[in-house]
Amino acid sequence: MPDSRTSKETGFGEVVYETTVLKDFLSLIKMGIVNSNLITAFTGIWLALYFNGQSFLGNIDTVLYTLSGSALVIAGSCAINNFYDRDIDHIMERTKTRPTVTGRMNPIQALWIGVLLLAFGFIMLSMTTAAATLIGLIGVITYVFLYTMWTKRHYTLNTVVGSISGAVPPLIGWAAVDADLSVTAWVLFMIMFIWQPPHFLALAMKRVEEYRAAGIPMLPVIHGFAVTKRQMMVWVICLLPLPFYLFQLGAAFIILATVLNIGWLVIALSGIGAKDDLKWAKWMFIYSLNYLTILFVAMVLFTIN
């Protein structure tokens, strides 16, 4: 997530970052990640209500508890991630101005903020169902321990492991309404899980030298761009059949989702002969962001009665 700061150059050639307590806090919790995950969590809630024949307004308390709890749990996990990664964040351009790096926030303070956010988040989720709370816990364990503290610094598989935690928000949303997760709920999880590797590998290609300097074994750092591009293409191909499992959303949705998938595949295939790998990675990254937003918003729009 881009840091919420502005910068200016002094007359002596040094760069001074202008920031506030609020901006530091939003940077600590990675507000961009929180917002994007709330979109998918909301879609999980909405579709669960829709397929179970329940009213949105009649369950507004569940909606608010779920979204608040999910936001707090995600924010807490991100704060702990920033606490743990402060030793390498100063090396990377996009992370070097985080408050845990610049010294504007004490590391222990950042850790406690993360722990408190998690605690309040789980209290909120516990007001819904045990299933939603458990899934949230699985997401936290995966992101904080299996990804941040283990695989991120040791294995190229780190992107896949991190994708598990990134895919649980729609499951949390669904489980808060219906603890008996249906096939539709798991398809939402799979879309999110499969979407993340090509999305984050595109970012890893753009920032490959920063990851190399930080000692993070991202796929393009260890195996190069050619292998990375092939793997990204395979992940995009795996998305192709998933919209057809959501046939209950109607033919218009299936057509839209398939067009989006084919569009992404065309861009992925164009990477085979791309002369400028970094430019290609930029377009893959931009497309992935728009893909996710359009797809999940469409799920809601196509089910509004």
Q: Print pLDDT tens along the chain (305 aa).
A: 333 344 444 443 444 456 788 899 999 999 999 999 999 999 999 999 999 999 999 999 999 999 999 999 999 999 999 999 999 988 888 888 889 898 899 999 999 999 999 999 999 999 999 999 999 999 999 999 999 999 999 999 999 999 999 999 999 999 999 999 999 999 999 999 999 999 999 999 999 999 999 999 999 999 999 999 999 999 999 999 999 999 999 999 999 999 999 999 999 999 998 999 999 999 999 999 999 999 999 999 999 97
The span from the CA of 275 to the CA of 304, in Å, is 44
The span from the CA of 291 to the CA of 257, in Å, is 9
Nearest Cα neighbor of 257 from 298, 224, 229 is 298
Mark out the alpha helices in the chain (DSSP H runs): 21-28, 31-51, 60-84, 86-89, 99-102, 107-126, 130-140, 158-166, 169-177, 183-206, 208-214, 219-239, 251-270, 277-301
Asked whether the beta carbons of 224 and 186 are under 8 A apart, the reply is no
Asked whether the beta carbons of 73 and 122 are under 8 A apart, the reply is yes
What is the per-residue pLDDT for 96? 87
Beta-bridge mates of residue 16: 8
What is the per-residue pLDDT for 92? 87
**What are the structural domains of the chain?**
1-181 (1.10.357.140), 182-305 (1.20.120)
CA pseudo-torsion sign 166, 171, 176, 177: positive
